[in-house]
Amino acid sequence: MPFPLLDPRNDFVFKRIFAGNPALLADLINAVRAPEPPVEVVEILNPTIEPGELGGKFIVLDILARDAGGSLYNIEMQIRRHAGWSARSIYYLARRLDGQLVSGDDYTKIKPVIGIHLLDFSLFDDLSQARWCFELRDRRQPGIVLDKALQLNVLELPKADRLLARDGGALADWVTWFEHWQEDERMSRITHEPIVQAQDKLSALSASEEERHRAFVRERALFDEATELKVARKEGQAAVLLRQLERRFGPVPEAVRERIVQADESRLLEWSDRVLDADSLDEALGG
């Protein structure tokens, strides 16, 4: 019996497929950046995955690549939204600019740094757009670009799956693969050769016991990360609520404190709203 296909949105699986296949990676980059001129990936700068990275929480298994013109690309797959995501992405790209020059170089030697970030979540509330390209442009005249040294391309996969399906083309096919890789009937309709190759490579990875184990280790680390973030967020909400209650009503009894610590996030939010208008501790917590 064949094994279930691994999830290509798992960043370990994503990197295993694309880091060893510059032509596939170039096709994905070109699809996301179209109608920019197509590029050829000539070098993967971080092709290996260290064992410690698989279990490392808060680590993104990204791909760093260089094209024939010397431009640098940072390609990431992310399945969970984190606080500070935008700032982190900009900072990481900017570091690639900083490391290019050595003493005596002039600034004309700087090569563009381009981010390709695929998100399996919605980053923006705008439901009419799924593909974004951020550059140094003038606010009043967005057609005027200060410099193309820094660019961040963001693709929100869930929205793109809905918005791009009717358009067809390479990008729509890639989105379909990332969102519906396990659906044989849908995949059989895709004839774009790079995606056919990607699906074959995914099947080969999925058939390997070692690769399945490594993908599981990575998935477990990401789950642990999400759990830790959720716990930390809930603890923060509980601490804020306790401080609000103490300022309004004085010392909080230990039994009530324990009730707050054990409550889920939705209940903590409900109680935080009540504190604003409640006249007693019992009223704030609903008795």
Give the pLDDT confidence of 20-49 residue by residue, as tens digits. Answer: 999 999 999 999 999 999 999 999 999 988
What is the per-residue pLDDT for 56?
65
Average per-residue pLDDT in the chain? 88
Tell me how far apart the alpha carbons of residues 21 and 225 are, in angstroms, rounded to a whole number. 29
Contacts of 91 (CB under 8 A, 6+ apart): none
What is the phi/psi pair of residue 164, to 5°? -95, -15
Tell me how far apart the alpha carbons of residues 282 and 271 are, in angstroms, rounded to a whole number. 11
**Residue 1 confidence (pLDDT) above 50:** no
Contacts of 247 (CB under 8 A, 6+ apart): none
Quick one: CA torsion of 163, 168, 174, 175, rounded to 10 degrees?
Answer: 20
Rg (CA), the chain: 23
pTM as predicted: 0.79
Tell me how far apart the alpha carbons of residues 62 and 40 are, in angstroms, rounded to a whole number. 19
Residue 60: pLDDT band by 50, 70, 90 thresholds?
A: confident
Give me the residue spans of the domains in the chain.
Answer: 11-207, 224-284
